[in-house]
Structure 1
Amino acid sequence: MKIASIHIYSHDGRRRDQPFETEGLNIITGLASTGKSSLSDIVEYCMGEADCKIAEGFIREKVSWFAVTFQFPGQQVFVAKPNPRPGRVQCSLAMLLRGAKIKTPDFEDLAHNGGDELVQQVLSSMLGIPETKTAVPERSSRVSYSVNVKHTTYYLFQKQGLVASKDLLFYRQSEEHLPQAIRDTFAVLFGISQLADMETEANRRATQRELKIATKELRSAEEAEEALDTKGVGLLAEARAVGIQFGSASASDMPESTGPASDLVASLRQVLSWRPGSTPLMANSEMAKLQARRLSLRMQRNDVQGEIAATQRYVKGASEFESEIHEQRARLESINALPRSADGAWQWPFLREEDARMDGIAQALLGELSSLSEELQSVGGARPRLDQRLATLTEKSSSLAAEIRQLEQSINAAVLIEEKAVALADANAQASRVQGRVSFYLESLKPSDAINTLKLKVQRLQAKLDELILDAGAEDDAEARMHSVLTNISSTMTSLIGEFKPFFWEFPFWVDMRDLTVVVQRPGNPVPMKRTGGGANWLAYHMSALLAMHHYASKNGVPIPRFLMLDQPTQVYFPTQIAYEAAAGDIQRVQQTKDADLVAARRLFEILLNYTKKVVPGFQIIVTEHANFADEWFQDALVEEPWMSPPALVPHDWPSWQQ
């Protein structure tokens, strides 16, 4: 699978085609912001990627459809996908055509006839990717998934920033969970996890799970049978302790037989059939009535006691009043000792008769004395009624107190009954829990024939597992295949690195798929790529590792596409970004630049050209670049004139989606 051409469509129906040579080196050079870096994004988008990674701006505004014509041996596949609507970055709709030689459709003929899933299925099938899933270790949180053409992109793109990274080797390696996906899919694509091995491994795991379950069931059955006496008698003791009545009346009568049909089992079954009695509880309404009646009587008694206190205070006041009147009356009665005149009138002693007459005063005093006598008679007449009232109230208070005591006794009795009922309910709950454990225990008992059946099952599964392990040896074979593949790739990589002459080029190199990096096999002190220095060195390691993998894939029929897209690889050879962009597309400026390592930059393209002609003849490499060399072989590799007028990929007069 290679790239025959890339196509973009305007909103008004125009089309821009960018053809490529399917064999050899293809170079697009020019200024920055001309759309060069978007070419690999278009290819990835049309390989069934839902996310459109083409940068927002001129291209996204003026292009309505993106398309790629993929070249297979004797056949082409045309894939077109709509530009996601403004504000969106995803689109899963696609148009797919297959044929020996496809005529690029016009804008009017574009219509989606499937989606990303169809694109992935067709491209994966034509590449020959096996319909298998990634191998996942037992007890792993990862989920096995099918490998498809999307998983080949890790080896197809080296974009700006990645191509000379010291920390990352593969495309999208920095994304979450993808490092493990690269490892898993590498094993499938490069033939390490073979389909037969995976089927054998799946059977082994399934048999191992069945054996584990059967062994657990057998162990449980044997333990239940061995522990019947101890556990069963213990359950019976618990049942008796919580009040469950059954069979024997005393602990000395406990059954001791251990057979499944023994008296012990029969007693345990009686425990399950026992039902606790119930104690009726007083209704809440009745208790409320008693408490309300007690409250009412207490209020009545309080009222009566208040009346008694008031009457007693009244009696006390009347007694004090009566005493005061008696004292005043005694003083007034002394008037009778005064002398009288011949006509009976009162007079003062020791005075002449004409001076001692006191008729008016005497009459007043006698009137007061008469009034006091009447008041004494009134108070004395009320005393019997007051005494009777006090007696009546006292009797009523005593009656109410007696009734209150009787009600309190009734309430206390009801509370006691309720407490006993609650205690009985708790005992019944404990009994129910014991019954539950007895039920579980009886269900777990296995008859002897069931245990024999389980033993035979365990023996059969163990024999099957031993046979699978002896016949397969899949794990050892997979490790051996992984080592063999990496040894071959690493050998080719070491040879290619020797052409770049970076640091440590005199030592062997190794592709480390565990850490996804390149390692210098320096004796006694291996050095990973991230601990080496210099962008030119990292570029050499990247290029050599990817080209070595494609070399192995080409020689051994690995189902990955036969192309590699590189974005601005020579940037590491220029002292600054300004100097690099200043030389964009201009042959004279490149030749006149003195402070750039042009020899190394030119050697990079020579290595790439030699790779497509001699190392892997017919391999396709597409490079988007600023530098432009005057060498004839370099100019022959240009697919178009240098892109000097941004954005060269999209014509200026194309309308945007807003127009």
Structure 2
Amino acid sequence: MKFTLHEIKLWFKNKNFEPKSYYFLPNKVNVITGNSNTGKSSFFNIIDYCLISDQVKIATPITNAVEWFGINFSVSNENLFIARKSANNGAPSFDLFLDKSSFPELPYKNSNSTEIINLLNETLNITDELKNNFNISYRDFLLFNSLTENIIASQEVYFDTPYFEREYPKGCYIDKLKEIFNLMTGITNLENIITQSKLKKTQKYIENTEKKKRKNEENDVRYKESLKKLLDECKYNKLLDESISFDSAEEIVNIIENIIPDINNIEDNNVLQEIDKLKNQRNNLKSELFLIRKYQKECNNYRQSLTKLADSLQPIDFLYRNLQDQIIYPLEATEFLQNLEYSLKKIKNETYVNNVIPDSIKSDINFIQEQIKLVDEEIANRSKITNINLLENGSNCFILGKIKEKLDNIKKSYTHETIKEKKLADSKELEQELLDALASIKTMRRDVSNQLDSSIQFFYCLIDSIPVYKNFVTKFDFDEMSLRLYPPNDMFPIGNLGSKSNFMFMHLYFYLGLHAYLFNVVKSYVPQFLFIDQPSIPYYQGGNDDLKLTDAFHLLNDFIDLIVSKKNGDFQIFLVEHASKDNWENILEHFHTVEEFINDNALIPQQLIKE
């Protein structure tokens, strides 16, 4: 996708300073060079901010000095002027200006982020289906336009996903990176993405359903084992015969439930209510019988007491009758003996009268005993109903209560999710259909991999910048998303290339090879520009290795020459450097110095930084 940056413009908060513009040329390596801490690396941060990043990467001293940031660029020959108000306390502003002709004297809010994002998505070929169904936007592809200082000399990392953290969140960035990379390189297309999305959902359903099935099987085993232990407990307590066997958990439940009375049904059972009435009747009869027998016993005790008392008075009666003529008693003694005689006669009379218990008492006892017998027989007859006898025994009732409690707990803890077997079978058929439909991706991936490797290898061989590995072969690892270097005719890549200089060149080979390959992709979503931040990083400490920096500059110049002169295309490189412009001016025809930040010259005037 043709993309050309023409201008970056800054409007300062201090109105004593005129707005400052930096101009870029198409089809050139546009270089911003100079000393450290002059704001060189902020150029890409400004571009990113004006392309509606929701993060502020621009240094705070710069945002404190600038009121508005603006970029003028063209996409597919459509000219756009976008300005965005500076961040406030680190928070991005949503005051946005948009125009297709020019910047005003001072930008003002006339647009919003939604309008600009939709416009950029449209101009960069991001369809509504990609946006709405797969949450893909033009910002996802800016990752491939940025070779930042964070990764340019890294051994393993080739994409600065932390810089685009909102687009590539930590923890799940690798899946999205691969998805976007495959779409960008043509390994897959929108139709395949839809198919892959269906496949992912289908496989997720199959995986979850199979997991539920395994869980059900485990629960079934535990459930049956728990029921078997409870069955053994019933046998141990003599509630079931030892010979009882089972084939399934349902059979065990039925066996145990058959010996456990249903308390709710018992309360409503007419038979048991009749039994309760009969038991109450029996208790009443027994109470009546107890009272009658108690009366009978007391009568017998009273009669026996009178008999004993009469026997004790017999000697007195004998003396009084046989010796009264021989003994002369005083008057008082005579009266005493007469009273004893009277008492003896009265006791004998009482004993005689009460000697016989009334026949009615005996008849009542016999009648009540007969009634009790009849009630017991009736209770026995009614108790022949299943399980009622178990309740007659208090010990059994306690054991059965425990058994019932355990059975209820086992049943409550048992879970068995319903599995739609037909839906599972249909899903497996659909999975195979989708896999067959995506089979072409493997072929396409192999073809793309070969073409991409060939493009990268072209730049690797173009300049002999790593002579120790001459004739080695570069291959991009789609699984690790990094570039590997293989010895000739060897299956295994080199583990460590050695110096940071080698790592820097590997990154240049990859990015240049990638964009050269993308130039031939029919429908590319990646803008045709590349930001490169300080390839001189490996050479900060000087030494002979810094001579290789010249090779890097020549490599970039040759890349532009290939795209522009030989392929008749368009491409722009933005290069941030420390090296002097003497390294390319009047030497490399495709280099253009945008600005040199030396002698107090910087992105932001020093007076504004100090304020």
Q: Which residue does the alignment assign to 2:496? A: 531
Unaligned 5+ segments in structure 1 are: 135-142, 210-280, 348-356, 417-443, 445-464, 576-593
Change (3 A) 1:102 1:513: farther
Change (3 A) 1:114 1:475: closer
Give the aligned CA root-mean-square deviation in angstroms. Answer: 4.9
**1:168 pairs with 2:157:** yes
Q: Say if 2:281 is the partner of 1:325.
A: no
Number of the residue aligned with 2:475: 510
State the 1:538 CA deviation. Answer: 1.0
Deviations 1:170-213 (A, max 9, x none): 23298544434444444443445468x969x97xx99xx9xxxx
Q: Residue 486 of structure 1: CA displacement?
A: 1.9
Evaluate the alpha carbon distance shift between residue 367 and residue 28 of structure 1 in structure 2; reply closer, same or farther with a 3 A threshold. farther
Does the aligned pair in 1 maintain the 2:452–2:513 contact within 8 Å?
no
Contact 2:98 2:110 in 1 (8 A): no
Partner of 2:184: 189
Amino acid at match of 1:4: H
How far did residue 328 of structure 1 move? 0.6
Distance in 1 separating the partners of 2:304 and 2:603: 125
Conservation of the 8 A alpha-carbon contact between 1:154 and 1:182 = no
Distance 1:563 1:112 in 2: 25
How many Å apart are 1:652 and its aligned residue? 3.9
Query: Which residue is 1:4 aligned to?
Result: 6
Residue pairs, 1:378-457, within 5 angstroms: 378-384=350-356, 388-389=360-361, 391-403=363-375, 405-406=377-378, 409-410=381-382, 412=384
* Counterpart position of 1:314: 298
Aligned residue in 1 for 2:103: 103
One-letter amino acid of the structure 1 residue matched with residue 5 of structure 2: I
Contact kept, 8 Å, 2:36 with 2:578, in 1: the verdict is: yes
Residue by residue over 1:576-625, the C-alpha shift from the partner in whole angstroms, topping out at 9 and shown as x without a partner, is xxxxxxxxxxxxxxxxxx56843234543454355445665663222334
CA displacement at 1:61 relative to structure 2: 6.6
Q: Distance in 2 between matches of 1:651 and 1:316?
A: 132
1:26 matched to which residue of 2? Answer: 30
* 2:407 equivalent in structure 1: none
Please point out which of 621, 625, 635 is paired with 2:573: 621
Matched, 1:543 2:522: no
Contact residue 65 and residue 80 of structure 1 kept, 8 A: yes
Which residue of structure 2 aligns with residue 520 of structure 1? 485
Residue by residue over 1:530-589, the C-alpha shift from the partner in whole angstroms, topping out at 9 and shown as x without a partner, is 5333222111100111012222334666632221112343222234xxxxxxxxxxxxxx
C-alpha distance in 1 between matches for 2:70 and 2:442: 45
Q: Provide the residue aligned with 2:277 in structure 1.
A: 293
Q: Residue 643 and residue 117 in structure 1: after superposition, are their counterparts in 2 closer, same or farther (change >3 A)?
A: farther
1:294 & 1:645 partners in 2: Cα distance? 114
Seq. identity, %: 14
Q: Spell out, residue by residue over 1:396-453, the C-alpha distance to the aligned partner (whole angstroms, 9 max, x if none).
A: 353244245435534656989xxxxxxxxxxxxxxxxxxxxxxxxxxx9xxxxxxxxx
Q: In the alignment, which of 442, 451, 455 is matched to residue 489 of structure 1?
A: 455
1:40 equivalent among 38, 44, 66: 44
- In structure 2, what residue type is equivalent to 1:165? S
In structure 1, C-alpha distance between the alignment counterparts of 2:182 and 2:605, rounded to whole Å:
38
After superposition, the C-alpha distances for 1:310-345 in whole angstroms (9 at most, x for unaligned) are 224423422431332132122322222553358xxx
The letter of the residue matching 1:26 is N
Distance 2:48 2:109 in 1: 23
- In 1, the alpha carbon distance for the partners of 2:550 and 2:323 equals 168
1:572 aligned partner = 538
Cα deviation, 1:145-175, whole Å, max 9, x if unaligned, reads 4865334223211223211221221232985
Q: Which residue of the partner structure matches residue 149 of structure 1?
A: 138
CA contact 1:35–1:649 (8 Å) conserved in 2: no
Larger-Rg structure? 1
Could you tell me which of 337, 347, 371 is aligned with 2:343?
Answer: 371
Q: 1:108 to 1:183 in 2, by over 3 A?
A: closer
CA distance in 1, matches of 2:306, 2:20: 136
- 1:297 is matched by which residue type in structure 2? Q
The reply on whether 1:69 has 2:69 as its aligned counterpart is no
Q: What is the TM-score when the length of structure 1 is the normalising length? A: 0.59
- Residues 498-536 of structure 1 show CA distances to partners (whole Å, capped at 9, x for unaligned) of 343365244232233343221223124355465333222
- Aligned pairs, number: 482
1:544 aligned counterpart, secondary structure: helix
Distance 1:297 1:57, change over 3 A: farther
Deviation at 1:122, TM superposition (A): 2.5
